[in-house]
Chain A
C-alpha cells in the first residue's frame, strides 16, 4: 500500500524507515483449500533442516548420540557412574565455555537491573500512548506457561533434593555432605547443606534465566512495536547490520531460531511424554511403553491444536490461566500440608541465602566445583538461552504497552520471587522428608539411592496426605504445561517463518503444531530424543553471542526513543 503515498505516523515513537516491506519476500499460494503465506527461504530451509536432522538421528542413532550428547559416562575410563565426564558436543561446550556462559548470564542480569534504574527505563513499548494489551493475571500466567512451568514441575523437587544429597562430587561450591557413606545423617552438616541446596537451585531459576528471557523479549518488543520492524529475531540486529538483516544474515538468525525452537519443543515433548508415562506408572501402575507415550504426545498435540486454532486470547491465554490456577492450588496444598509456617520461614532464609551466595555462585573463574558449574549451571544457561528466542518472542508478543522499567521489573523480579518460593516449597519439603526419614524417604530413594528424576515430584507427594489426588493433579499439570509450551511455540515458529507476519493463514500454525508432534513421535520411536536435545542445547553457544549483541542493540534503540 506504499503506493498510496501516506506518511508514517509521527511523534509517538521512533520508527525506523527502511525500504523493506513486511512480507515482500513471502510466497503466497494455496494447497487445496488451505492458503499459505510463508517467508522464502526461512520456512523452507528450516523445515528441510529439521527433516534432515530427524533422518540423521533415525538412520545413525548411535553416531548422533555420541556426537551430540556424548557416550555413556559409564564407558569412559576413569569416570565414576553419574559423574560429569561425557565427551559429546554439549558436554564439550558446557565444560569448555562454562566461563563464557556464566559471564554472559551475569551481564544480562546487570544489564536488566540497570534498565530499571536508568532514565531510558521510562520508554514505553508500543509508543508513548500505548496501553497494555493484557492485564497482570493473564500476562503473568502466559510468562510462566510458555517457558518455565514445565521445568518447575520437573526440577522443583529434583534439583534441591539432588544438591542436598549428591554423593557424586557435584555439590554447589563444594558444599558439605549431610549423609555419611552408609547413608546415615550427619546432623551438624544438615543445615548448611540444605541452605546451599536451596540457594544453588534458586540461582538457576531466578534472576539469571529471567534476565535471559527479558533481553530477547525486550529487543523484539522494542524493534517491532516502537521501530516498526517485523516481529522476528532478525529485527533486533538492525542497529548492527542495517539493511543486511533482510538478506542471508537475517535468514540465518531466523532459521537458527526456528530450528532451536522446533527441536527444543519436540524433544521436550518426547521426553515429557516419557516422564508423564513414568508418573502414570508410579501412581496408577500403567505400563511404561512407547504406545502410551505416543498416545500422550498425540493427546498433547491435539489439545495444543485446538488452542492455536482458538488463537491467542481464546486458546493460549485461557489455557495458561487454567494452568496457573491449578499450579497455585498444588503449591498451596504442598504449602499447608507440609507446614506453611516452616516454609514461609524457609522462604525468607532461602532468599537470604540466595542473595548471599549469588556472587560466589555466578563467579565464572577460579572455582573447583566443576560438576556443579559445568554440569548444572553452564548446562542450564545454554538451555535457557537456546529457549530464549521462543520464550522471548512470545513474551514480546504479549507485553506491548508496558514501560521498559515495568516490563523488566515484572519479567525479572516477580517471576524470580515466585520461582524461589516454588523451589523452597517443593524442594524444602522434599529435603525435610530426607532429613526426617533418611532410611525410608521416597525422595531419597528416587533421587539419591537410585536416580529416577522423573519420579521425584511424585515421590515427594507420596510423603503428604491425599497422594492419589495430588499426583493426578501433578500429571495433569505436566501435560497442560506441555500444551501451553507447544501452542505458544507454534505461534512463534509460524510468525518467524511467515517473515514476521502475525496474520498469516491459520493452517500454517496447524502445520507447525502437527509437525512438532510428528517429530517427537519419530524421535521417540526411532531414538534420538536425547541426542537431538543435546544438539538444541548446543545452539545456546551461538545464541549467547546473539544475545550479547542484542543488549547493545537495545541500548542503542532505547536511546533514540522519545521518553
Chain B
C-alpha cells in the first residue's frame, strides 16, 4: 500500500513528537515501508543547532536512533531555508516529490512553527501523497 513514508520533524520540539513518530513507525511496519525524517532549518543558529551542518548531523543521529528503536529502515533529510517559518509549506510539498514519498505522517498543533497556519492541512491540499495528521 505504502512504500515510503515521510515524517516531518521539528527537532526543537522532539519531546512532543512521540505520537506521530509511533504512528509513522507502526504504519511502516504494517506496510513494510521505509521512513525519511525531514527537518527544516534556517542558516542562522537555532535552538537545535549552531549551523546547518550541525543540524544535519543531529537529524541523522535522530533517524539512526529511531531506526534502532523501531527496526524500521530510516533516512534523514535536512533542508535549509532562508525563512523557515514561512517557507515550510512549500519545502514540505517539494520534499514529498523529491524523496518520492507516498504517505506523510506528521503531528498537528505543535507549538511553534508547526502551528498556525496549519502546515499539515496545506500539505494535504497540495500534495499527491496521502497525509496522515496525528492529533497530539
**In the docked arrangement, what's the CA distance between A127 and B48, Å?**
18
Contact of B46 among A24, A397, A502 (CB under 8 A): A502
- Interface status of B86 (Cβ within 8 A of chain A): yes
Contact (Cβ within 8 A) A503 B113: yes
- Interface status of B130 (Cβ within 8 A of chain A): no
**In the docked arrangement, what's the CA distance between A521 and B44, Å?**
34
**In the docked arrangement, what's the CA distance between A315 and B14, Å?**
30
| Neighbouring A residues of B116 by C-beta, 8 Å | 33-35, 505-507
Q: A310-B86, A313-B82 are in contact. Are A1 and B11 (CB under 8 A)?
A: yes
> How far, in Å, is A134 (CB) from chain B's closest CB?
8
**In the docked arrangement, what's the CA distance between A375 and B84, Å?**
44
Q: Which of B44-59 contact A (CB under 8 A)?
A: 44-51, 53-54, 57-58
Which of A106-114, A223-231, A418-426, A455-463 lies at the interface? A223-231
Q: Which of chain B's residues has its CB closest to A228's CB? A: B50
- Interface status of A400 (Cβ within 8 A of chain B): yes
Contact of A29 among B46, B65, B87, B111 (CB under 8 A): B111
- Interface status of B12 (Cβ within 8 A of chain A): yes
| Neighbouring B residues of A8 by C-beta, 8 Å | 50-51, 54
Q: A1-B58, A9-B51, A9-B57 are in contact. Are A503 and B84 (CB under 8 A)?
A: yes
- Interface status of B132 (Cβ within 8 A of chain A): no
| Neighbouring B residues of A4 by C-beta, 8 Å | 58, 61-62, 65
Contact (Cβ within 8 A) A15 B50: yes
Q: Which of chain B's residues has its CB closest to A32's CB? A: B116
Contact of A21 among B41, B47, B51, B86 (CB under 8 A): B47
> Mask for A18-42, Cβ within 8 A of B = 1, else 0?
0001111000111001110100000
Contact (Cβ within 8 A) A502 B51: no
Q: A312-B83, A502-B85 are in contact. Are A9 and B53 (CB under 8 A)?
A: yes
Interface residue range, chain A: 35 or more
| Neighbouring A residues of B14 by C-beta, 8 Å | 1
Q: Which of chain A's residues has its CB closest to B61's CB? A: A6
**In the docked arrangement, what's the CA distance between A500 and B44, Å?**
9
- Interface status of B70 (Cβ within 8 A of chain A): no
> Mask for A225-258, Cβ within 8 A of B = 1, else 0?
1001111000000000000000000000000000
> How far, in Å, is A561 (CB) from chain B's closest CB?
14
Contact (Cβ within 8 A) B82 A312: yes
| Neighbouring A residues of B46 by C-beta, 8 Å | 22-23, 501-503
Contact (Cβ within 8 A) A502 B42: yes
Contact of B43 among A1, A12, A133, A309 (CB under 8 A): A133
**In the docked arrangement, what's the CA distance between A34 and B113, Å?**
10
Q: Which of B68-86 contact A (CB under 8 A)?
A: 82-86
| Neighbouring B residues of A315 by C-beta, 8 Å | 86
- Interface status of A270 (Cβ within 8 A of chain B): no
Contact (Cβ within 8 A) B42 A30: no
> How far, in Å, is A306 (CB) from chain B's closest CB?
12
Contact (Cβ within 8 A) A35 B112: yes
Q: A8-B50, A28-B112 are in contact. Are A231 and B117 (CB under 8 A)?
A: no
> How far, in Å, is B56 (CB) from chain A's closest CB?
9
Contact (Cβ within 8 A) B42 A505: no
Closest 5 CB pairs of A and B: A228-B50, A311-B86, A23-B47, A312-B83, A35-B115
Interchain residue pairs with CB less than 8 A apart (23): A1-B12, A9-B53, A9-B54, A23-B12, A23-B47, A28-B112, A29-B111, A35-B111, A35-B112, A37-B111, A37-B112, A224-B45, A225-B51, A311-B86, A502-B84, A503-B41, A503-B42, A503-B84, A503-B112, A504-B113, A505-B85, A505-B113, A506-B85
Q: Taking A313-B82, A502-B84 as given, write out 14 further A-B residue pairs in contact, using a Cβ cutoff of 8 Å, ordered by the A residue number.
A: A1-B11, A4-B58, A4-B61, A8-B54, A30-B115, A34-B116, A37-B111, A37-B112, A127-B51, A225-B44, A311-B83, A313-B83, A314-B86, A505-B112
